Homo-oligomer: A and B are copies of this chain.
């Protein structure tokens, strides 16, 4: 089978963090998988943000439930940026993902580190700690998006 394997730089850095058999048979499968994982993660991250930003009342249990899903999902997309998956379905990933793998890897690691801190804050149950860690995590998301995500979808 013609399986798509992640770039070596990602394998080296993230091998222990991503389930084995992180392989896709078609580029389209990998693209839709990572988009799906990002979408679900963003929803649950956003629900924590609604509490951090005061749009809905803070509920520590709800924050923890949503954070558990963010933790379960946040490494998954990065198993699906194999070489060759810059084409295959409309997407917003910029060529820099593959051209500057070291910078992309650093951005992912920053996000993972902030997610771990936000998880600890949510488990601690302090709204102030969640607010602070949410801001830092959102900053890590945005920094990666600024460098590696285009405004518009590609045509294929």
- A residues sitting closer than 8 Å to B (CB atoms) are 1, 19-21, 24, 29, 32-33, 35-40, 43-44, 47, 50, 55-56, 59, 61-62, 65-66, 68-69, 72-73, 76
Contacts and interface: CB of A to CB of B under 8 A. Distances in A.
B35 A65 contact: no
Determine how many copies of this chain the complex contains: 2
Contacts of A1: 55
Contact of A59 (B20, B29, B35, B62): B20
B19 A69 contact: yes
A39 B29 CA distance: 9
B40 A33 contact: yes
A51 to B, nearest CB: 9
Nearest to A63: B21
A46 to B, nearest CB: 9
A11 to B, nearest CB: 16
Of listed A24, A35, A36, residue having the most chain B CB within 10 A: A36
A62 B21 contact: yes
Contact of A19 (B37, B38, B65): B65
A65 to B, nearest CB: 4
